[in-house]
Amino acid sequence: MAAEVSRRRRFLLAFAICAILGGLGGLTMAELQSDPEARPRFIPPREEAHEFRLHDQDGDVTTLADASGDVVVVTFIYTTCWDLCPAEAATMMQAVKQVGDGVTAYAISVDPVGDTAKRVDEWLRVRSWQNGPMKYLTGTREELTPVWRAYGIVPVNATDEDAYEAAEATDRFRAQAAAEGLDLASRPYTHPERPAPPPAALEGNPDVRDLTYRGRTRHAAGLEYEHSAYVLLIDKRGVQRLGIPFERLDADALAQDLRVLRDEPVK
């Protein structure tokens, strides 16, 4: 039984990396519709989602089991990202608010260096989400790495030194924007100019031990700050059910998915 679970987990990791980092990379909606390699949504193996033990924005220990009985929607972001991550989280929050009770939302950090308690608090505050349905979960690299691997997530690949410097630079950028009256929190996401993807972006069976980002460009900050961007839905029994890449994320469609899972009878 343990061997079977391990085999299926390896399959999930391989499939997620293939779907999210390979064929889906950084495509726009139009590209996804015309690209035969694209997988708009994917169905992970129906097995119990990987448990984690991280800290939320209030410093409280949070586990996946804490949300037992709720549908869980999970994404992976970082606070000093000013383009894709806020757009992804905002779409997710729109859907969660449409559905209301019975849903728990988690945002899990992909940047253990930059995602300090102060930055997480500020990131939530400017969006009025401090007391909302989203819990922003952080941890050390050692705590987060097993979570990334279990869910097929490539985190920010910058060195700790570069991640620290980038976070400090982003703090200065946001402070200047605030002084000039610019509302960065509400700016719509636009794809950066993309170079052609590397050949590894279209690998059918990537090496799942290599967590180097191999997709198309999504972020303005550069390749070292690219990371897997998808939303995972986990049902009330803790079983993973549906993966949705950022480029296919729509608030109304996500809300409908959440309602279907919320209203399912628990057998």
Q: Are strands 103-109 and 71-77 parallel, antiparallel or unpaired?
A: parallel
Contact 38, 32 (CB under 8 A): yes
Q: Is the pLDDT of residue 160 over 60?
A: yes
pLDDT at 206: 53
Contact at 8 Å (CB) between 90 and 184?
no
Confidence of residue 131 (pLDDT cuts 50, 70, 90): confident
The number of domains in the chain is 1
Q: What is the pLDDT of residue 159?
A: 82
DSSP 8-state class, residue 19? I
Q: How far is residue 94's CA from residue 142's CA, in Å, rounded to a whole number? A: 32
Cβ–Cβ under 8 Å, residues 234 and 44: no
**d(Cα 258, Cα 253) in Å, to the nearest integer?**
9
At 74, phi and psi to the nearest 5?
-120, 140
Vertex 85: Cα angle to 227 and 23 (nearest 5): 45
Average pLDDT, the chain: 77
Closest CA to 240 of 100, 73, 92: 73
pLDDT in tens, 195-211: 665 666 556 555 556 66
What is the pTM assigned to this prediction? 0.76
CATH of the domain at 253: 3.40.30.10
pLDDT at 47 over 90: no
Range of the domain at 127: 2-263
Q: Provide the pLDDT for residue 257.
A: 94
